[in-house]
Chain A
Amino acid sequence: MEESVPFNVLSHKMVPVHELLSDEETDKVLKKLKITRDQLPKIKENDAAIKMLEKAMNQAIPEKSVIRIIRDSETSEEAVVYRLVIRG
């Protein structure tokens, strides 16, 4: 049922850029922030953006992956945030 929806949310202008971080990048980010994975904000595996991202990259995004989201911000030009993929 969900799969039948043809619309790619990632291409909508209101949806910010989502990127999957590689393991090295993840480690770098965590090290920079001096945190462990569990302290990151979360995003559910079944989030529309994650599902579209999986489709676009043609690979599954496993739990514990970290997603980088680059958003337009009213206060700064753009805001970079990270989210941890959890099972939804």
Chain B
Amino acid sequence: MADEKRKIRIATCSLAGCFGCHTSMLDIDERLFDLLEMVEFDRTPFTDIKHCGPCDIGIVEGGVSNAENAHVLKEFRENCKVLVAIGSCAITGNVPALRNNIDLWDCFQEVYLYDPGTEGKQIPNDPELPLPFDKVYPIYEVVKVDYFLHGCPPPANAIWKFLTDLIQGRQPETGHELLRYD
């Protein structure tokens, strides 16, 4: 076992996203076994590890919507040699960023103070809750990102091709056939 090659270590997380990209990752189905031959997982929603340690590859789904997202993202950047933005939310902000046109103040008032369904009429202020940013940001505005894998979500085959290229030390090439939506 001693001379067996060290496995590539991968961490993943979902920030302001819907876990759709993670679901698409699982859609590689039986190839998951092949993947586990080559890699081991650090922090991911699959392992339930809470903090990311030193890794080779970090995969981030979702944009940056609140302070906690920023902490997690920075932790990933500090620990991962290669950081990948996966899916439209991480790359552009996408659906969560639709709130960017609404003033945060108006939004909170509407939801917690004016909406007839709310009780107590108080804006939550527990320090346990992460504070939201004024806007949702794509992750490249907060940290340096090495690769972008497009799609909402990117199809499983594209994720598989991307990961195997990266793991085997090739420049990832997904190409038109794997990433077309027309």
Q: Do A and B bind each other?
A: no
Q: Which chain A residues have a beta carbon within 8 Å of chain B's beta carbons? A: none
Seen from chain B, the residues whose Cβ lies within 8 Å of a Cβ on chain A are none
